[in-house]
Amino acid sequence: MQKRNDKPRFARARKGQVLGALLICVALCASSSARAAVYRCVGENGVNTYGDRPCAPTESENQAQTRAAASSDAEPQLNSLKAKKVARVLDLLRAAPSEPETFLLQRTVDDAAPDLVQALDPDNARWTPANAKWHSVLEFVKADLRRDVQTALRRSASDIARMTAQQFAARANEADLDTVLAFLESGDGARYRALESELRHIVYDALDSLLAQEPIPEETPTSATLRRRLDLLSLTLDYRIVQDGGGPPPSDLYPGSAAVAAYSARHDGLALDALIDEYEPFLPHFHAFTDSPTAKQLFRALEPAMRTYRALSSAETTNFAATELEKYYPRWRAVYGPPTKSSVRTALMIRGRMVVISQTTQMTINAAGSPEGMAIACEQREDNQYQNTHRSTTDNNAQAAALRAIQARCRLEQRLPPL
């Protein structure tokens, strides 16, 4: 189940078994006086079925419910004090936040957007980040995703955090938790957490740049400089879990992998050097913590829980992307531009899962003259005017509400349904 806004993203390799089945029931039409509801059910293979009854649970969903019930029954047996310590460790490390933070929200948008942009013209071999129009369409798609992502993730974040904490608590030693908490809540621990937060942004930025095949800045650091940078990167939580957790990383292109660390050491050298200068007096204390037997035991206990967290978060990102594509498909196609007739049934791959988009009407979309295109032009024009007259605003909620009101008004003028 979040950072930079401007760089292109490629879909990244994703591994890990998603716990539970994806089953979505949507009442497409429900009128108590005229006709019965029609339900669209999406199975594990991504195939839609339609009927007048709610979707029946699949076998894997029944198994997931059984596991959830077992976990729920077991939860009261956990030492409540130990559970609080586990939650505190996860919160201090920002490992599994129960409320989606800005970094997580932005990561979700950055992960989902490239696949959604690609899905606008999946059969066009030239529709890639090398296309001159790709970046403008990508930013337009991201703007829509940002409006919805917090609400979408908030529904699942607390549940994912709870499941992660349960797995961690089942493996963690309470004495180790006490020792780790004593460090994390100390002065050195606060500085370590601040450095960890800075490094996390740098490493994920480096991963995005590596996946986008961006060139490394021209620099010829000495071997000693590279060692210092890699030594700093070895302090990150992702790196320590890979090294000490006992399990292989999901892929070579993973934030905790040696390949990403080596790339970041060259790609983000100046930023890493600045952090080394800032934190140099405290680095021995940080290494004493991460290299201690207690910390290593903690990382081993945390590794399976973080695998669960990543799998569940990846599933939520997939669900979010599929929902957004169905919601915004005509609008994004209008921005993309080339006229096209929407098919009655379109199958697309979104983050490795088949998603079927059903269009009930046929229409020709073009950015210049269609209602969608005219509504978008109106929205962009009024958004720019709003931004110019509210440059100093700090109320994000008020700004989001104003932009949504502009969007609704522009769509109403073109007799389009609200989004």
Q: Within a 10 A sphere around the Cβ of 48, how many other Cβ atoms? A: 17
Six-digit token pair at 381?
């024009």
**Nearest CA to 141 among 111, 107, 114, 104?**
114
The beta-strand segments (E) located in 226-381 are: 340-341, 345-350, 353-358, 364-365
Residue 151 backbone phi and psi in degrees, to 5: -60, -40
Inter-axis angle of helices 80-93 and 134-171, to 10 degrees? Answer: 150
* Locus of tokens 């390949």: 259
H/E stretch holding 293 = helix 293-336
Integer-rounded Cα radius of gyration of the chain? 24
pLDDT for 349 equals 57
Q: How far apart are CA 317 and CA 323, in angstroms?
A: 10
Dihedrals phi, psi of 354, to nearest 5 degrees: -75, 130
Cα distance between residue 166 and residue 301, in whole Å: 11
Helices (H), 101-173: 102-118, 134-171
| Bridge partners (DSSP) listed for residue 49 | 41
Helices (H) and strands (E) in the chain, counts: 14, 7
In which element (H, E) is residue 200 found? helix 187-211
Query: CA distances (Å), 206 to each of 7, 85, 114, 227, 371, in order?
Result: 11, 33, 17, 17, 40
Count CB neighbours of 214 within 10 A: 13
Residue 16 pLDDT? 35
Residue numbers of the chain with a pLDDT score lower than 70: 1-79, 246-250, 338-369, 393-394, 396-397
pLDDT digit string, tens, across residues 101-136: 888 888 889 888 999 999 998 888 899 888 888 998
48: phi then psi, degrees, rounded to nearest 5: -85, 140
**Structural domain spans, the chain:** 79-147+155-323, 332-413
pLDDT of residue 346: 55
Name the nearest CA neighbour of 360 among 339, 343, 341, 347.
Answer: 343
Per-residue DSSP letter, 75:
G
- Closest among 304, 97, 289, 294 to 195, alpha carbons compared: 289
| pLDDT value, residue 235 | 94
What is the DSSP pairing of strand 353-358 with strand 345-350?
Answer: antiparallel
pLDDT tens digits, 60-80: 444 444 344 334 443 434 568
Residue 27, H or E segment:
strand 24-31
pLDDT of residue 75: 41
Give how far Cα 172 sits from Cα of 44, 110, 167, 325, 350, Å.
Answer: 33, 33, 9, 40, 36
- Contacting residues for 134 by C-beta, under 8 A, at least 6 apart: 8, 117, 127, 128
3-state DSSP call for residue 40? strand
Write the CB contacts of 398 (distance below 8 Å, at least 6 apart in sequence): none
Sign of the torsion formed by the C-alpha atoms of 368, 373, 375 and 381: negative
Identify whether the C-beta of residue 332 lies closer than 8 Å to the C-beta of residue 122.
no
